[in-house]
Amino acid sequence: MQFIIPFILLIVPVSFESVVPLPRPCRCLYGDPCWPSQLEFDVLAARVSQPLIQPLPPAHACYPHIDPSGNCTDVQANWQDGNWRADHAGAMQSPNFETFIFPNDTISACYLNTSLEYPCTQGSVPVIGVDARSSEDVQAAVEFAASHHLRHDYLGRSAARGAFLIWTHHLKNITFTDSFIPDGGPAFEVYENALTVGAGVQWHEAYDAAHSRNVTLGGGLSAGGSVGAAGGWMQGGGHSALSPAYGLGVDNVLQLTVVIANGTHLTANAYQNTDIFWALRGGGGGTYGIVTSATYRTRPSVPMIAAFFATIINSTDPGPSPVLERLYTEFIRISPSLSDAGWGGYASLALGAEGTSLALRFFFISPTTSPTQANDSLAPYFEFAQTLAANSSVENGGALTIVANFTTQVESFYAWESTIFRGEGQGQVGFNAELGSRLLPRDVIEKNYKRVAQILLALPAASFYFVGGGVVSLRDPSSTGLNPAWRKAMVHVLFGTGWPEGANASQIREAEEIVKGGIAQLRAISPNSGAYFNEASMFEPNPQETFFGSHYAKLKGIKAKYDPSDLFLVAKGVGSEDWDEYLICPRK
């Protein structure tokens, strides 16, 4: 999930004498003697369209002795606003990725809560960077990184301590082409109303543009629509509530433009630079180059059917209750039939807390399901829940109340998205988060639905995303670089935990242990599957296999061709295993 649009490079000193590419030097961090001089930064500044930026952690403005003119009220008001964070080069969606834990467990951070009396320091926020407004700016920045042999994410992949930032947030161009033919493609291969988005375009902007053209495309869904439409989302796979009907992000890309490590600006599609086109669709953001634009096919805007279900539970005991276990188990049992009915969307299975709390909630959408099919697919479950609720009590495992249970027609995907996700844009981000992911194939769910429900019931903030199956499963797994596990997956399971601001390293490790335990259980029931690179744990024991599956060797080969010096590296991404855990020095 992170989608601050920044793109990070750490500076590597060059050794021009060497013709043998190995051994590669360690990265050069801010403060090291090899860090570029002021003069070198001035030369870069003269080449780019905007002044260089010096990002600061967002809570910086709450420390008057550092920033006397800072507006802390603004920071407090917007702390959980994904778009506000995306607008600030120094902010990540989850603040834990703005911090840095030294090997001695000291934490460098800048906390919002000044009462913690902790010094505000830079953490993992890059110290300087280019605010790119054109592909030429991106090229200049990449060349700067590369000539000094430089390099560079919800998962902190777009931030790194002591790094140089290439901020793509302001590459906001949006263009429609009435009849789009991929460059070099045959004249008969025409796509009507193709949408080209610059690297900094976010889904709320892409959806508004598509709506103004009366077309639809399935993109990421988040509070305020803050996820980037051409960056990490697409390159990691890019799921949507519409992907069961229209395919994943990678399945809808017609063409990409990308600045590679040697500064060349390439066009990649099914007719030219086909290998990097394959790799950029699933090989992960920040790995092959800097995508400057993506062209997507669109669909006509049509009315769709939506479903809503929400329950609350009032109990005296925290934790799993028999009522919730029955509610969840039945839901998981019928989930293959919901997928067959064409539904896409999101279910969250929150654990009961003491007192009144949200229990199962889901909201689905489908352009292919008929009103009758929609009702028939859910009515038995609604009745089941109603019976369960009527027979439940506070004393006996909790009183279940049904808040919503209906299907309805919506005018368009846009109407659905803007109603659900565009309110205040608050609440989904701005807290410390450690995630776990698993792609669950249909047969695993069919065979083990009771076990799946038990595991999810015990996990913190578990979600069951209907973003696989349907068209996602019909695509040839070898058509893109994406993890083939996606083609067998019916749902993406996501869960996560956090910790309060100011927690020490051992408390943070406890949260990590919860995630490690959860993914181990999910792996055990689905040993041949994988996880979603973009919304996953950084503690997967075998990330190459888990995130890329059988495509890994080919992805690595294409990286060797386009980025032989590993200028572009991200945590657990392609090629990262050749570097230490901080991605600073190559492994011997």
Ligand X SMILES: *[C@@H]1O[C@H](CO)[C@@H](O)[C@H](O)[C@H]1NC(C)=O
Ligand Y SMILES: Cc1cc2nc3c(=O)[nH]c(=O)nc-3n(C[C@H](O)[C@H](O)[C@H](O)COP(=O)(O)OP(=O)(O)OC[C@H]3O[C@@H](n4cnc5c(N)ncnc54)[C@H](O)[C@@H]3O)c2cc1C
Residues of this chain that interact with ligand X (CB under 6 A) are: 71, 73-74, 77, 102, 104, 106, 113, 115-116, 134, 173, 175, 214, 260, 262, 264, 300-302, 314, 356, 372, 375-376, 379, 382-383, 386-387, 389, 391, 394, 396, 402, 405, 504, 506-507, 561-562
CA 207 vs. chain centroid, Å, equals 18
Closest CA to 531 of 460, 474, 482: 482
Distance (Å, whole) CA 166 – CA 89: 10
On whether the CB atoms of residues 498 and 511 are closer than 8 A, the answer is yes
Closest CA to 91 of 102, 82, 101, 100: 82
Q: Tell me which amino acid residue 560 is.
A: A
Distance (Å, whole) CA 65 – CA 568: 37
The answer to the question of residue 55 lying near ligand Y (CB under 6 A) is: no
If contact means CB under 5 to 8 A according to the sort of partner, which of ligand Y, ligand X, none does residue 247 touch? none
Query: Residue 224 or 398: which CB sits closer to ligand Y?
Result: 224
If contact means CB under 5 to 8 A according to the sort of partner, which of ligand Y, ligand X, none does residue 104 touch? ligand X
Choosing from 257, 269, 534, 544, the residue that interacts with ligand Y (CB under 6 A) is 534
**Which 1-20 residues touch ligand Y, going by CB under 6 A?**
1-7
If contact means CB under 5 to 8 A according to the sort of partner, which of ligand X, ligand Y, none does residue 372 touch? ligand X
**Which 218-247 residues touch ligand Y, going by CB under 6 A?**
220-222, 227-228, 230-233, 235-236, 238-239
If contact means CB under 5 to 8 A according to the sort of partner, which of ligand X, ligand Y, none does residue 15 touch? none
If contact means CB under 5 to 8 A according to the sort of partner, which of ligand X, ligand Y, none does residue 243 touch? none
Closest CA to 89 of 134, 54, 141, 48: 54
The answer to the question of residue 428 lying near ligand Y (CB under 6 A) is: yes
If contact means CB under 5 to 8 A according to the sort of partner, which of ligand Y, ligand X, none does residue 561 touch? ligand X
On whether the CB atoms of residues 584 and 26 are closer than 8 A, the answer is yes
Q: Mention every residue, 6+ apart, whose C-beta is less than 8 A from residue 409.
A: 303, 304, 305, 306, 371
Query: Residue 297 or 438: which CB sits closer to ligand X?
Result: 297
The answer to the question of residue 61 lying near ligand Y (CB under 6 A) is: no
The answer to the question of residue 204 lying near ligand Y (CB under 6 A) is: no
Residue 404 has phi, psi (to 5 degrees) of -150, 140
The answer to the question of residue 168 lying near ligand Y (CB under 6 A) is: yes
Distance (Å, whole) CA 496 – CA 511: 9
Buried b (16+ CB within 10 A) or exposed e, 139-163: bbbbbbbbebbbbbbbbbbbbbbbb
3-class secondary-structure state, position 301: coil
Q: Mention every residue, 6+ apart, whose C-beta is less than 8 A from residue 389.
A: 311, 399, 400, 401, 402
Query: Residue 108 or 226: which CB sits closer to ligand Y?
Result: 226
As measured in angstroms, the least distance from the Cβ of 66 to ligand X is 17
Span interacting with ligand Y, options 61-69, 154-162, 323-331, 512-520, rule CB under 6 A:
154-162
The answer to the question of residue 552 lying near ligand Y (CB under 6 A) is: no
Distance (Å, whole) CA 533 – CA 1: 9
3-class secondary-structure state, position 234: helix
Query: Residue 401 or 473: which CB sits closer to ligand X?
Result: 401
The answer to the question of residue 352 lying near ligand Y (CB under 6 A) is: no
Choosing from 95, 282, 286, 425, the residue that interacts with ligand Y (CB under 6 A) is 286
Q: Which residues bind ligand Y (CB under 6 A)?
A: 1-7, 82, 93, 153-154, 157-158, 168, 199, 220-222, 227-228, 230-233, 235-236, 238-239, 285-286, 290-291, 428-429, 534-535, 570
